[in-house]
Structure 1
Amino acid sequence: MKWMRDMARWLLATMLLVFGLGAHAAAGQNDYVLGAGDQIRIFVYQNQDLQLDARINESGTISYPLLGVVKLGGLTVSDAEKKLAAGLRDGNFLKQPQVSILVMDMKANLVSVLGQVNRPGRFALGAGAGGNKLSEILAQAGGILVNAGSDLVVVTGTRDGKPFRKEIDFPRVFMAGSGVEDIALANGDSVWVDRAPQIYIYGEVQRAGTMLLQRDMTVLQALASGGGLTLRGTQRGIRVHRRDAAGQVQVIQPDMNDKLQANDVIYVKESLF
């Protein structure tokens, strides 16, 4: 029977929206802000003739039966459903229209997350509070890889038609009074998480090799991470090889509480006595 087929279509559309089972569907799709290029499928309960597949054009509009040109760009999926339902109701076409929209292919309001994250890819910006914040998008990407990703996150894109680039010390976003903002991302932004900085230690230490440079790590802490000096090692024989801005390697005899920099090489000489 026709009413049973309509009911089945309505239930399918609802399941797709709730559980995100459509092509390119994502959790929280109702908060997705529609934009130019998005491909959508519109269902109206018990009105198969009003089902429509449409792509939102550059002006943010679609052409919909009975309503003509309707602007959906800039609206969340939920608000777009309400707008179409109101149009059908206010135009006396349907008494209580129930409209459901499924985003089949997201082309607008996307950001790219690349580098040392658990799930690199493209992610939709949400309309809800915090839905377009850097922390929210990194959470969608599964977060920064532990012991692999850098604290420094780079955001690039455009603002007011001009190139935009910002480096953010991400852990400081959550520190009270740090002044580091959890910035709002915009359509087309790219987020890059580089590899965590490293240092190198060799010579008379228990565990020579490469290690991650922790925040504010000192020479003493690096030596401790390397298991300390061997019986032949001497504190007076510690040298740090550091490349300067001109690319020249400088050899420094450090204090044990001096802070290290990325790519420093620590060498521990053998004691002569």
Structure 2
Amino acid sequence: MLKRLITGLVLLLALPAGWVSASDSNEYRLQPGDELLISVWREEELNRQLVVLPDGRISYPLVGHVMAAGQSAEVLEKLLAEHLEEYITEPQVSVSVTAVSGNVAFVFGQVNNPGPILMSRDLSVVQALALAGGFTPFASTGRIQIIREQGAEKTLLPVDYSAIERGGDLSHNHSLRAGDVIIVP
């Protein structure tokens, strides 16, 4: 048990970031449910605390609905500033993420600390399992599955942690998405 945990942590630390992440950047991407503080310098009437809606959009004065999900705070700042230029000279927009409640994955089954995992950055299966405290002695590490919802469709992704542990087969070290559920039988 301890050997598996140590091996997993060594693999986790030894992997270059590009191998565990499908994105080019570790920058946080907004998700539905995230809470934002948006302010415009010298335009206090435009300062707002907002929640990213379930459809991924926010509603902002003078701009209307804007897609926020999947964007970084910096990209959203630029997008809002572009829309506001029609009404304000050189708007200085600031977007702060005050709560990341929408970007959560879940780990259940034979792990030491099952439950939600807050994903404040890109996260792989191995990283999530480490955050869940590793495996119990009864874990079947060759039969782990990820349940991923994409709209109304659910997909099962197999994860053979034993293969990762034995020889570094990284094809099983999927990047997680908000709402993913990892089941460790």
Give the TM-score range, shorter chain: 0.5 to 0.7
In structure 2, the partner of 1:101 is 96
Match of 1:169 in 2: 160
Distance 1:123 1:87, change over 3 A: farther
Pairwise CA distance, 1:172: 1.8
SS at match of 1:151: coil
1:151 match: 141
2:76 corresponds in structure 1 to: 80
Matches within 5 A, 1:255-270: none
SS of equivalent to 1:82:
helix
Q: Percent identity?
A: 25
The Cα shift of 1:154 comes to: 2.4
Alignment of structure 1 residues 210-221 onto 2, 5 Å: none
Partner Cα distance (1:179, 1:135) in 2 = 10
Of 115, 125, 130, 1:121 maps to: 115
Residue equivalent to 2:45: 49
Aligned pairs, number: 159
d(CA) in 2 for partners of 1:160 and 1:63? 22
Tell me if the contact between 1:31 and 1:78 (Cα under 8 Å) persists in the aligned partners: no
The structure with the largest strand share of the pair is 1
Structure with greater contact order relative to length (CA < 8 Å, sep ≥ 6) = 2
Indicate the residue corresponding to 2:127 in structure 1: 136
Cα separation, 2, equivalents of 1:56 and 1:137: 24
Distance 1:135 1:142 in 2: 10
Larger gyration radius, structure 1 or structure 2: 1
SS of 1:31's equivalent in the other structure is: coil
Q: CA RMSD in A?
A: 3.3
Among candidates 55, 58, 64, match of residue 60 of structure 2: 64
Q: 2:105 aligns with which of 111, 135, 149?
A: 111
Contact 1:85 1:99 in 2 (8 A): no
Q: Equivalent residue of 2:128, what SS? A: helix
- Unaligned runs of at least 5 residues, structure 2: 1-25
**Counterparts of 1:159 and 1:65, CA distance in 2:** 31
Q: Which amino acid aligns with 1:104?
A: A
Q: Which has the higher helix share?
A: 2
Q: 1:144 to 1:160 in 2, by over 3 A?
A: same
TM-score, normalised via structure 2 length: 0.64
Deviations along 1:213-262, one digit per CA (max 9) or x if unpaired, are: xxxxxxxxxxxxxxxxxxxxxxxxxxxxxxxxxxxxxxxxxxxxxxxxxx
Q: How does 1:6-21 map to 2 (within 5 A)?
A: none
Aligned partner letter, 2:105: V
Partner secondary structure for residue 176 of structure 2: coil
